[in-house]
Amino acid sequence: MSRLDSAIRRLMAQKHALEWAVQEIDGRDGAVLELGLGNGRTFDHLREIAAGRDIFVFEREVAAHPDCIPDADHLFLGDFLESLPRARGLLGPVAALAHLDIGTGVKADSTALAERIAPLVAGLLRPGALVVSDQEIAAWSASRLAPPKQIPAGRIHLYRPVR
């Protein structure tokens, strides 16, 4: 498979997973967490499909399209290991959905990061919250959900972590 085909499949899986997750949390209170702003594409999509919900974004350094940058009240800058605890202190368990798009390009590093931040993300989740992740998180393996049929196995990981 070409890198272009792989990127398209990844983006389509991400789109389907986010749309499924937003439907799943319909009727539940709670914000959305976006870990990894990148170019701002998924943040922009979440603004559209989760309209009316607060979306809190976590990013080391903003490099997104200017139209896809959250306001200062919804942006936590810096390392996840510092910004997530800071958000927990300010917000408490606020989220009905968390989207983790934290891949670094080095699989071992991405997996290690996901495992390190999993308990920090869990501290921001409301009971019954969903997590859509680009990384598999072994700590949450017992709460794994089957992906919707249009998402290839192993492409996106879905969880409902128990708090």
Q: How many domains does the chain have?
A: 1
Contact 56, 31 (CB under 8 A): yes
Banded pLDDT at 152 (limits 50, 70, 90) = confident
Burial class (CB in 10 A: 0-12, 13-18, 19+), 9: middle
Query: What's the CA gap between 51 and 55, in Å, rounded?
Result: 9
Whole-structure pTM value = 0.95
Over residues 9-65, the pLDDT tens digits come to 989 999 999 999 999 999 999 999 999 999 999 999 999 999 999 999 999 999 999
pLDDT of residue 12: 95
Cα 163 → chain centroid: 17
Please give the average per-residue pLDDT across 131-137, as a whole number: 96
- Domain extent for 133: 3-159
Question: 163 pLDDT exceeds 70?
Answer: no
Q: What's the CATH code of the domain at 148?
A: 3.40.50.150
pLDDT of residue 104: 81
Cα 49 → chain centroid: 14
Question: 121 pLDDT exceeds 90?
Answer: yes
